[in-house]
Amino acid sequence: MTIASETPQPLNENAGPAPAMYADIDQSVTFKKLRKRILRETLDAVRRFDMDRPSGDGGAQKWLVCLSGGKDSYTLLAALLDLKWQGALKAELLACNLDQGQPGFPKHVLPEYLAGLGVEHRIVTEDTYSIVTDKVPENRTYCSLCSRLRRGILYRVAREEGCDAIVLGHHRDDALETFMMNLFHGGRLAAMPPKLVNDEGDLFVLRPLIQCAEKDIEKFALAMNFPIIPCNLCGSQEGLQRVMMKKMLDAWEMKSPGRRDVMFRALQNVRPSHLADDRIWDFAALERTNPSGQ
């Protein structure tokens, strides 16, 4: 739902590049098309899922944009800054990076990049790495506990900064991989929602890139020459269930191009009456409308 009086301006397809962000980028036709596609898909998600409606006091929301230093979070920030520059996004943005004390983490990269863009930001240092390596056995991956600790810290920072939402860089392929993991390992039909409210009920969790393909994000990040920080500093990325799901989806995509698009459309086209969960469909109440068959 979009509030009529607060409808964002449409995407300006003729707008030139925002100076700070695109100053040294090769403005080829291919890149311009890619940029427009990512912006359209991001803006469509913002509008479709009513992400930036006015806050409780009627003012603009304030978003804590969470940056890991990977291609996804850089693209998220770039898209949101671009949409704000074009007047299509009303939310105020505060970029935030959490330094978790991982060995070899280049602490200077994100602050220097954000300062160069003139982006308001906050760097938070919390040694969750020591906690995770102490609690998780050597042969297990750190990701689950690490993610929970990170999310709790980001919620705290969002509250301290008076934010309405934390904003994450998960994209379409992340949602599909999560769906597959839940299907094969969790015994449930669930993916990543574009918008949810945290358990405490005081913050939104938003995923504006939820309709963007990872392959487009990879191309965009490469063209933008983002200073990528690798996500393997803890050495726990190989052998994850998510990696297996990604490989499975890649194989399907290679065999049947467009399979990911079809699967994502399925997440937006749910038919409870054709599943088997009596909590969301009242099978007991079903009645034949024509018992005699006449």
Domain chopping of the chain, boundaries: 29-270
- Cβ-contact 114, 66 below 8 angstroms: no
Task: Dump pLDDT digits (tens) for 111-127.
Answer: 999 999 899 999 998 77
**Distance of alpha carbon 288 from alpha carbon 140, whole angstroms:** 53
CATH code for the part of the protein at 29-270? 3.40.50.620
C-alpha of 231 from chain center:
16
**Distance of alpha carbon 101 from alpha carbon 97, whole angstroms:** 12
* Cα distances (Å, whole numbers) of residue 226 to 114, 155, 219, 220, 249: 11, 26, 11, 9, 26
The per-residue DSSP string of 69-104 comes to: SSHHHHHHHHHHHHHHHTT----EEEEEEEE---TT
pLDDT reading at 133 higher than 70: no
Q: Report the predicted TM-score, pTM, of the whole model to 2 decimal places.
A: 0.87
Task: Dump pLDDT digits (tens) for 63-87.
Answer: 999 998 999 999 999 999 999 999 9
H or E segment at 244?
helix 241-255
pLDDT of residue 6: 40
